[in-house]
Structures are given as C-alpha cells and as structure tokens.
Amino acid sequence: MPTLDIKGLTINAARRLLDEKEVSALELTQAYLDRIVSVEEDVHSFVSVTADIALEQANIADRMISEGVHGHLTGIPMQLKDNMSTKGVPTTCSSKMLEHFIPPYDAYVTEKLKDAGAILLGKGNLDEFAMGSSTENSALKVTHNPWDLEKVPGGSSGGPAAAVAASECVFSLGSDTGGSIRQPASLCGVVGMKPTYGLVSRFGLVAFASSLDQIGPITSDVEDSAVVLSHIAGHDQRDSTSLNIDVPDYSEGLVADLTGFKVGVPVEYFSEGIDSGVENSVRNAIKVLSDLGADIVETSLPHSAYALAVYYIIAPSEASANLSRYDGVKYGYSSDVAGSMWDALENTRQNGFGPEVKRRIMLGTYALSSGYYDAYYVKAQKVWTIIRNEFKEAFESFDVLAMPTAPTTAFDIGGKTGDPVQMYLNDIFTIPANIAGIPAISVSCGILDGLPVGLQFMAGALQEKKLFRAAYAYQQATNWHHIKANI
C-alpha cells in the first residue's frame, strides 16, 4: 500500500477509503499512531496514547466492515478530552489531583462512540479541570499551537483542538463551559461546536460548572461536526439535565445556499478590544453570507456585555461545590504528610490543585458565602435570566447570529499567564452562548499573520440544523478550512 496521506483527513473521506477497501481500519489507525509519534514531541496534545486499545478496536472495526455491519464512525480514529471517563484508561483532568485515577466506568459519549466502532487513540490535554483559555493551566504539560509552536492553542480543550489541527486524529470531543471548544477551535483553525445544553449527556464528564458544561465535537469541517453530533446526542436517564427528544441526522439538509436565511450581526461583538484584523476577517465573512442569499441585519444584544461577569460568579460558585469532593479520602491524590485529618485535607487540596483552580474555588466560595450570596450569586442568577430571554427574543427574528469567536488570534505561550483578567477576556464572545444554553459553532474565516481567525454562529435552542446550514454554506463558498497547519 502506498504511504497514506492523513493530513486534514475528514470522517467522510476516511469512510470512503475504508468502505472501498483502499485502507483497513488497522492501517488507518497505525498511520495516526505513527503521526502522533512524529509530531507529539512538538505539539503535546495528548495526556495519554492508548495504542494497544486502538489497535484492538481497529481489528474489531475491520471485522465489522467485512461483515457489512458498521456505521459512519466505524474504524475512525479519534481522541477524547481527558475529562471524559474511560473505563480502564486514566482520566486525569490534567490535574495532579487525578493524575493516577482510572475510572471504573465509561462516560455516555465514550459508550456511544465505542458502540459506533470509533477507535480511541488517547486522551487530550486540557487546562486543569477545564479551567482556562490557553491549556497552560494543565499540571501535566503545555500544549502548543500547530500553526506556531510558540503560541497557545486556546483552552480549555486545547489538546483536542491541536490534535485535530495537527492531524493526530480525525476528530476529537471537547467540553465547553464558557467557550472551551469554540475558542481553541478558532485559534487552531478547526471546527468547534457546542450543542444546546442538555442535548449531549454529561454522564461521565468530570464536572466543572454543571449548569453550563456541554460536550461537543472538534472536527476538520462542518459536515464531520454534524456527523459526530448525530452519534453523541440523545437522552440519557443517568443525567437529569439530558433532554428527552428525537435526535435528527444533522448532516441531512446541508446546502450551499442561504436564500431567505436571516442573519443577525450584534454590534456588541465588534466592541473595543477586538483586533482590527480579526474584525475585518469576520466582516468579510459576513459579506460572503450575503452573497449566498442571506439577509444580513445589524442588531443589538445589550445584556451580552454582562455575560462575562455573570459567568465568573456562576461558574466558580458551581466549581467550588463540585470540587469539594476532592478531599484525599475517597479517591485521587492524598497528602500523607499531615499531623491530623484536617491537615491532610488542607495539604491534599493545597498540593493537588493548581493556581487557577484554587483561584476559582476561592472566587466561588466567596460569592456563595454568608453576606455576599444575595449581592453576587442571586444577582447573577437574575441577570442570567435576562440574557437568556434576550437571546430567545433575538431568535424570533433571526435564524442565526454571526460574530467573531475570539477577539484575537493565538497569543504567545506565557503572554497572559500573569494577568488572569486578560486571560478571561478571551472568552468574552463565547460565554453568552453558554449562559443562554444555545448551540454555537466556530469555523475558520481567515488567516492573520499566519494564524487562523474564527467566525462564530449562534442559533436558538435545539436549532442545530440552522447552525450547521449557515456554517456549511460558508465553508462551501470559501477555502479557509482547507488550509492546514504546516507541521
């Protein structure tokens, strides 16, 4: 067999190769394992590589294909962000607290992909417990952007975004609490999609902020994103927030025409702080939508300006509660240098958590404390409702909203670690979708000084088909998603 070129390989292209017997699942899997060996020393996108499991699953996939009993993802090599439980495989959350933790069960999405015959290559690096925007908060390693190894890949799903951008896997799954799929997708030049809250079960996802967390796909193109979402969406009784709805085939009805489509452009998302080159790229992309027949209308979402403040009260508050379980008693890291039980608990949390996680625990504990609960948490809940209603009203007039994904392109590693506020501002355009509980997607819309720029679409709750239609039409009319990192 000639050398297999897997750079930028999509799910659909890999499916054709497998179905036409041009390559076996075992050969395809080995090609990705070889690719990981060749670039991982520079990129550091994986926390762990599960080569033996991948090869075993590939053999099973080949048998399924030969017997004609297979689906769209059978034999497709993929990666999971390392905050999704994998039975028998370490799930670390890139934290010393869980560095040696091996779950006794699979997450819902792990089960779904395993049932579909997808092949697990390994687990992706992230900001510790998904708290960060650059993947520099990982306690295990710093992931580098494949477009420029001196730049961050974004976060917290920086490992998954970098892995797809570097062609170390066909697709990956990330989690998105305030932009953690879309922002790294923007910085790494790939497609990142956050579904409607509750569309994908959170069972087995290590909790950060339970009312905001959502799992979604990171892929090379929009069609792949729709395929993956069709496989991982669905009701799960083990997750009380899981929506009990019929899941359509999201890849159906993708057309390269937007005639009659109404696109709102919120003025607040082109505000002070956005890089002029990013703004120009996004505005040029919106002109393309107009050329495709979309009706472009400028609109206003004034309460979006408060989403960042609401997020940094709600999310840390929930994190402080969710992370209280890591006490060194039940599982995970435990300090053995202590004179008493209370000393052991304090030392465990002091040494097991990194600086950003401890910062957010303290922020959340403060917001929930007596005397401040009403002033901060309750007020944030009220503004949360206002923001949700504002978006609901907007989607009575528009099919989708279009705006930048991130205010800048990828920044230097170490460039913002000393200023948490500047780091938090990287999510200013992505957080509102989490607050509103609506789906959103990021696609590449330009290259600025050698680095990708992201265009973001948002749609109403459970309107993923509209979201995919807009993003797919844009990709069909442009070439940005075909330009790959030179690594």
pLDDT tens-digit map of 339-376: 787 888 889 999 999 999 999 999 999 999 988 999 99
Mean pLDDT (whole number) for 450-476: 98
Catalytic-residue membership of 444: no
Of 45, 180, 317, 320, which residue is the catalytic one? 180
In terms of Cα–Cα distance, which of 300, 223, 292 is closest to 261? 292
Q: How far apart are CA 318 and CA 61, in angstroms?
A: 40
Burial class (CB in 10 A: 0-12, 13-18, 19+), 122: buried
Give the model confidence (pLDDT) of 219-230 as tens digits: 999 999 999 999
Across 432-449, b (16+ Cβ under 10 Å) vs e yields bbbbbbbbbbbbbbbbbe
Choice among 156, 172, 201, 242 that is catalytic = 156
Residue 51 pLDDT greater than 90, yes or no: yes
The whole-number average pLDDT for the span 146-152 is 98
Query: Is 180 known to be catalytic?
Result: yes
Tell me what percent of the residues of the chain surpass a pLDDT of 90: 93
pTM: 0.97
> Above 90 in pLDDT, residue 451?
yes
Full residue range of the structural domain in which residue 28 is found: 1-487
pLDDT of residue 337: 79
Give the chain's domain count.
Answer: 1
Question: Does position 237 have pLDDT exceeding 60, yes or no?
Answer: yes
Catalytic option among 81, 123, 151, 194: 81
Q: Is 211 a catalytic residue?
A: no
Q: So what's the pLDDT on residue 338?
A: 72
CATH number of 313's domain: 3.90.1300.10
First and final C-alpha spacing in the chain: 24
Closest CA to 154 of 440, 433, 430, 458: 430
Q: Is residue 484 pLDDT above 80, yes or no? A: yes
| 88-94 mean pLDDT | 98
Residue type, 473: A
Task: Please tell me the predicted confidence (pLDDT) of residue 273.
Answer: 86
Average pLDDT, the chain: 96
Residue 277 CB contacts under 8 Å (≥ 6 apart), including other chains: 409, 446, 448, 449, 453
Query: What's the average model confidence in pLDDT over 300-321?
Result: 96
As given in the structure block, the two tokens for residue 197 are 């809250």
How far apart, in whole angstroms, are the C-alpha atoms of residue 132 and residue 427? 10
